[in-house]
Amino acid sequence: MTKTPLLLALSLALVAAPAAVAHPDAPGHHGGDRAGTPPPAKDGATKSKDRSKGPKGTLHLTQACVVSAATATGVEVGPLSVNRHMRDALAGARTLTAAIDDATVVRLVGRARHLPEGSTPTRAPKVGSFADLAVGDRVTVRIRAPRGTAAADLPAAFRIVDHGPSKRCAVPVTPPVEEPGDPVDPGPAL
């Protein structure tokens, strides 16, 4: 029974203490030497955000299969799944040529890092180049661009993650064409 008044007194002391020790120039305090002056004007010059680079843009994300050999300037991919910004940019197209420049980071993960049996080291480094993007690899392409940008106008990808070969990206093997030889005689008809 004696604990209730003690807890009540302690909680009141904790609530009142910050207001009692607040600095006179603290925001919201109506005293001190700034009592009669209006607050400083808020303008864009006082903010420290640097807009000289322009807006950051929207992430256009694509999980795709590499459909042709990559070059130093780009790689052609067939999208498996895309986010809504990339879907709008593609507008129904079945392939996308993702531009590659010096700032593009190609990262190797999973099967893409596996080296042939018996090699030393057993895994490739995590950072690769366009030469590591092989036909049939599953990749994630990340591009930053303003909303509404068409696929042909997209800038270079800032990151491409190579997941290595995938069953979803299997390259169809065409069977060899057999030359017609001598026709086989089925035998006498009965």
Q: Could you give the angle at the alpha carbon of 138 between the alpha carbons of 134 and 144, nearest 5°?
A: 100
Task: Quick: pLDDT tens for 130-166.
Answer: 899 999 999 999 999 999 899 999 999 999 999 989 8
Task: Quick: pLDDT tens for 36-51.
Answer: 566 666 655 555 555 5
Residue partners of 59: CB distance under 8 A and separation at least 6: 83, 85, 142, 143, 144
Determine if the pTM surpasses 0.95: no
The larger pLDDT score, comparing residue 46 to residue 94, is at: 94
The larger pLDDT score, comparing residue 30 to residue 167, is at: 167
- Name residue 170's amino acid: A
Where does the chain have alpha helices with state H? 3-20, 84-90
Rounded to the nearest 5°, which phi and psi values hold at 81? -150, 145
What was the pLDDT predicted at 139? 95
Count how many Cα atoms sit within 13 Å of the Cα of residue 152 in the half-sphere of its side chain.
Answer: 2
Q: Could you give the angle at the alpha carbon of 139 between the alpha carbons of 137 and 143, nearest 5°?
A: 150
In this structure, the number of other CB atoms found within 10 A of the CB of residue 77 comes to 27
Task: Quick: pLDDT tens for 56-87.
Answer: 789 999 999 999 989 999 999 999 999 999 99
Least confident of 6-10, 60-64, 181-185: 181-185
What was the pLDDT predicted at 169? 86
What was the pLDDT predicted at 71? 92
Domains of the chain (ranges plus CATH)?
Answer: 58-169 (2.40.50)
